[in-house]
Amino acid sequence: MTLLAQYTTLGLGGPARTLITAASDDAVIDAVRVADTAADPVLILGGGSNLVIADDGFPGTAVHVDTRGISYARGTARAGIVEVTVAAGENWDDVVAATIAEGLAGLECLSGIPGRAGATPIQNVGAYGQEVADAITSVRALDRRTGEITLLTSADCQFSYRDSMFKRASGRYLVLAVTLALPDEKLSRPVRYAELAATLGVETGDRVPCADAREAVLAIRGRKGMVVSPDDPDSRSAGSFFTNPVVDAAQIARVEAIAEGRGLGAVPRFDAGDGHFKLPAAWLIERSGFAKGYGTPGGARVSAKHTLALVNGGAATTQTLLALAREIVAGVRQAFGVTLEPEPILVGVAL
């Protein structure tokens, strides 16, 4: 019996009733179509970096997507742009490294994000001012409702902050490949985050060689335990467990009044458009009483490097991890009146 824990970066999750590893699009499609025809629940597995799976496992067919392939098309898009098509099963950080080696910009700040390429449009992964939605032109997918292969444009994907049509469509689409439009340039996009600029020794708005930006991002993520490594126990996580909440002007005013009353200083915030603001979840968590390392040392705990990550210390279960997550959500709500939402996909469990 193979535990799904072996397919997740958290190292948590019970067995699937059926587990299939598929190394080609045809094998992936066939496995899903057979399960769908039999009305069998389907769980799509990639790198398992954004999954929290029940201790009881999954009562259906788990399909591990292990397809490979990266292709480059020059001269088919607008001038100075290269179209890069990536198989869903490609390791995402390998894709970033490959495009930079090819002399292309646009993904450098997405270095070190764990998981497979097929998951990136679902979550609209982002970091340090870049989102994969900025680069995606189309996604090839199996529409499980119609049984047809479809090509979805970026507009079809309805991207928003850490969200997309794929995430909201409850498993209707199986991503097979992603096509990205990347500038044929060796300089990064303008650096937007002060932390990254400081690491690079430049000003925000400056551009640097993409390889330098990548190394700086990897260094920052490494310090926070956000680069998966067997040598770093803090990387046994699902990455950021909570999204940064987006609040309106009235909510930000309440948070600022609470912070002032408690002597917490200025509340960090980022403009999210339309009169809304994005608050750093890590700031809220820390100031609600959950310090780095909070929890059971060998069980479920907050990362010792970054309060946004919840870690399996080696003896955690999914239930103990979720109990910690619920405690944090309740604490932040009580302290600031803001409700945190989980970023990982929860399978067979709820927060």
Catalytic residue set: 162, 240, 343
CB 235 within 8 A of CB 223: no
> 103: which 2 tokens?
């002399």
Indicate left, alpha or beta for 296 from its phi (over 0: left) and psi (-120 to 50: alpha): beta
Residues 6+ apart with CB under 8 A from 347: 13, 43, 51, 52, 53, 54, 58
Q: How far apart are CA 15 and CA 236, in angstroms?
A: 19
Q: d(Cα 72, Cα 180) in Å, to the nearest integer?
A: 10
Q: Which residues pair with 163 in a beta bridge?
A: 160
